[in-house]
Every structure is written in C-alpha cells, then in structure tokens.
Amino acid sequence: MTSATVDELIVAEPVRFWTRSRKVGVGLVVVGVVAALVFGQLASSTKARFTLTDDPAGAALSINGTVGAYLFAIIAAAAGLTMVVMSREQWFSWLLGIGIVSVVISFLCWQISVAPTGNNFMPVVDVMRGTFIFAIPLIFGALAGLLGERAGVINVAIEGQLTAGAFGGALVGTIAGSAWAGLLGGIIGGVVIGVLLAWFAIRFTVDQVVLGVVLNLFALGLTGFLYEQIMRPNSKAYNQPPSFGTWKIPLLDKIPVFGEAVFTGTIFLFLSLILVVVVHIGLFHTRWGLRTRAVGEHPTAADTVGIRVLGRRYANVIIAGGVAGIGGAFFTLGLVGQFTKGMVSGKGFIALAALVFGRWTPTGALLAALFFGFSDKLAQYLAGIRSPIPSDFLNMLPYLATILAVAGLVGRVRAPAADGKPYLKG
C-alpha cells in the first residue's frame, strides 16, 4: 500500500481571469465609449476655458469643446483597456484615477462649450476651494466613524452628532458672543450623542446599527423642538452666532491655484487637515493606535494582554463624538451663520460612505471626502452656468457619487474584524 506524498495532496488554486482590475477596466472602457458618443456629439466647437485665477479673463487652459470631449473620453477608455490587458493590482488606483478624471473632464468640455456666451469657463480655483469647503464636515464625520469603528463600535450616528454639533455651536456661540465658545458648544453637542452611543452600545449591547439610526432621529427631533421653542421666537438672542474669519498661511497661500484653495480658509479647514495627520500618526505609529486596532480586530486577545477593551471603546467613541461635533459647528460658525432644521441634510451618511470608500484609513477618508465634496461643488457650478441638465438631477449628484463609489469602485473591503460585535468580558 503506497502513501500519498504531500505534493500529491496539494491542489493549486485556479487563477481567476476576471479579477477586480479587469472587471473595473471593462466598465471604464464602456463609460469611455459612452462618453465619446454622448459628450463628444453634444459638445460644440466653442473653446472650453479652465481659468487658473478668480479673474475670468486671466490665465487659463483652453481646448476646443468637441476635441476635448472626444480626447478625454478616449483617454478614459484607454485607461480601462490597460487595466483589462495588464491586470496589475499595483496600477489599479492610478489607472482608475486617470479614467475617472478623464471622464469628468470630457463631461466638463461638453458642459462648458455649450454654456451661454460669457459662461464658457470654469474657475478652477473657485471649484477647488468649494470642494474643500463641502468636504470639511465629511472629513470630520469620517474621522469620527474611523475612531469608533477601529475600536469595534459602528458609528451610524454621525448624522446626529453633526446635527447636535451644529445646534450647540449656534446656541452657545450666540449666548457667549464668541465663535470659540461656539466651537466648544459644538464639541459638547457631539459628545452628548457620543456618550449615548457608547453607553447603549457597550454597556447594554444594543444593536449598533439600529442604535445609530435611533440617535440620528433623536438628535434631529430634539434640536428641531428646541429650535422651534427657543431659537425661532428669539433668533437674535439664541441663533446669531459670530463666525470665524478667514485665515491665510503666509507664503503657502501664494502658491498658484493650490495655495488659494487649501491655505486660505477658516479654522475648520486647517483643523480638518491637521486631524487627518494626527489620527494617521496616532493610529499607526503610537501605542494608543496599536491598542485601538487590537481592540477592533481581536478584543479577546487584547484583553488577555491587559488592554482595557471596554474602556478603550468608551474613550474612542466619546472622542469621536467630539470630532463630529466640530464638523457640525462648521455649518453654523463657518458656513451658514445660524442653525436651521435639517441643515446637515444627510452629510453624516455620506461621511460614513467616505469612511468605507477610504477603507477605514485617515488618508483614504480624506480623499473620499474630497471626491464627494467635488461632486457637491460641481452640481453648484453646473447650476450656475445654466446647464441643460435638469436641476433635480444635479442635486442628486453627491448621492449618486456616493452610491457609485461604495457599490462599484471601492471593491471588496474588510472592516475591522470585531466591528459591531459587543464584547462580553468573561
């Protein structure tokens, strides 16, 4: 009787032809071809100008609308074809980025070239500035979700934390007559929702997704009630907070195009970028980050080596509430200047999508937030040049971008292993 050798027992795993790169590549080829057939045909020969300053007559990059629409559609299709032929995972992000940007530029060449006379230009600085402004609450919200989920607690309550932060910022800022006090009030508002989330999710092991939805409704209802009872009857005393002024970083704000958009803004812009760096360093290069990730991946093993699992989760979720509260305060202290019901309008859910799209990393969340911020600004810009696309569809752009990004572009991602799983200490 012969025994089977180890080599005979090894079964090689078949190599799949339809990898993620090839599937997305085929999709990109189709999108590129459709862009050429639609955008190229509809564009006019009028020059599409991309101005590099706020002056419409200033320096600009110009291209024939029809030529630009066809050219960039072809580039997008070529990027997709390269993904199909090469199927190199290390090139996936670069080729996908080139394809998406090319499709967007092809679309813009069509839109700008057919705009009414005098509107045949796109102010790149203004669009970039608007992208960062729209992305600010998403960055804070995504970081809040990141801090909680890396410790194993799903934070669906970002919407409620933003709402509470916006309300707290307006109320405290108006009463104290100080924007800084308002910022503190926004943090407190977010922390209150964070404490409720931590208490019910960790102490009572309530289903975290359901709990997040309930807290969102609670924050929306409570702030709406207080708005009607306190703020609306006497807005001068309770709903006219001072706003933060515009800051400039010397020298850096002089960088052409980029400097005016990134290094000129309110305190919220700089805080959001600083927090991305701080959270990245803290999460991947400190003992706190190592323990946080251990709690989110394998809490039982973390407990055996002396890490206080429940304490770490409480701390992270409450801190996350404060971070989201800053994002909420941005609405009332840096953008609108007062609190109104429903002003957050789904940004918390888009921030949650940015967290998933960014693969639970600070830099990924930042890039995803900028992607969604650009879609918001693009909708605003197209409405301003009287685009032939219906305004209702333009208002859908941020949400369509969210669905496409999470469902089609993000691919297979893995959340922290213990995310959403209550830990019961034996």
Cα distances from 98 to residues 67, 82, 166, in angstroms, run 18, 11, 37
Query: What pLDDT, on the 0 to 100 scale, is given for residue 116?
Result: 85
Give backbone dihedrals phi and psi of 46, rounded to 5 degrees, phi first: -60, 145
Task: Give the strands of the sheet with 121-123, arranged side by side.
Answer: 60-64, 47-51, 121-123
Long-range interactions of 212-217: CB distance < 8 A, separation 24+: 212/154, 212/155, 212/156, 212/157, 212/158, 212/160, 213/156, 215/156, 215/157, 215/160, 216/156, 216/157, 216/159, 216/160, 216/163, 216/348, 217/160
Query: What pLDDT, on the 0 to 100 scale, is given for residue 410?
Result: 58
Question: Which residue reads 């032939």 in tokens?
Answer: 388
Q: What is the pTM of this model?
A: 0.91
Low-confidence ranges of the chain (pLDDT < 70): 1-15, 405-412, 426
Query: What pLDDT, on the 0 to 100 scale, is given for residue 8?
Result: 46
Query: What pLDDT, on the 0 to 100 scale, is given for residue 409?
Result: 59
Query: What pLDDT, on the 0 to 100 scale, is given for residue 92?
Result: 82
The number of residues in the chain equals 426
Among 160, 278, 152, which residue's Cα sits nearest to residue 205? 152
Query: What pLDDT, on the 0 to 100 scale, is given for residue 426?
Result: 62
Q: Where are the domains of the chain?
A: 20-114, 126-409
Task: Give CATH for domain 126-409.
Answer: 1.10.3470
Among 174, 182, 149, 145, which residue's Cα sits nearest to residue 161? 145
Question: How do strand 264-265 and strand 47-51 relate by DSSP bridges?
Answer: unpaired
Question: How do strand 60-64 and strand 121-123 relate by DSSP bridges?
Answer: unpaired
